[in-house]
Structure 1
């Protein structure tokens, strides 16, 4: 499991996480969990600067996007 980043906002029904500096972003389609290992969704896009990318995550059913803001996400 590796860190995806911290959720900085929501937009268009997606959670937008800012990736960590110097770490490779997760693959598109990778499963995403929160710090309690609860399933959050899947990576649908990676964009922005190569050394500090943003990661767009489509939420799983029943996931509250506003509750994710400010929290870390991890790829499985």
Structure 2
């Protein structure tokens, strides 16, 4: 399990994660939280090369407001 980064905002039904470094997951990568609960999948990578942002499309059962400030991981 590798840490992606922290959810800094939500927009248009997506969780926006600020990456910890320049090593970001690829599109379609499964995203989990610290309890290994399935959160969703990576749908976009954007922003500066050094620390990009990752857009995560959450599963239907995941509440976006509850993700703010949480650290997310990729398997």
SS of equivalent residue, structure 2 residue 49: coil
SS of equivalent residue, structure 2 residue 36: coil
User: Could you tell me how far 1:30 is from its partner in structure 2?
Assistant: 0.1
SS of equivalent residue, structure 2 residue 3: strand
User: Could you tell me how far 1:5 is from its partner in structure 2?
Assistant: 0.7
Q: Distance between the aligned counterparts of 2:52 and 2:16, measured in 1?
A: 10
Paired positions, count: 75
Q: 1:67 matched to which residue of 2?
A: 66
Matches within 5 A, 1:1-76: 1-21=1-21, 23-76=22-75
Q: Where do 5+ consecutive residues of structure 2 fail to align?
A: none
Q: Distance between the aligned counterparts of 1:6 and 1:54, measured in 2?
A: 10
What is the TM-score with the length of structure 2 in the denominator? Answer: 0.96
Runs of 4+ displaced beyond 6 Å: none
Q: Where do 5+ consecutive residues of structure 1 fail to align?
A: none
What is the TM-score with the length of structure 1 in the denominator? Answer: 0.95
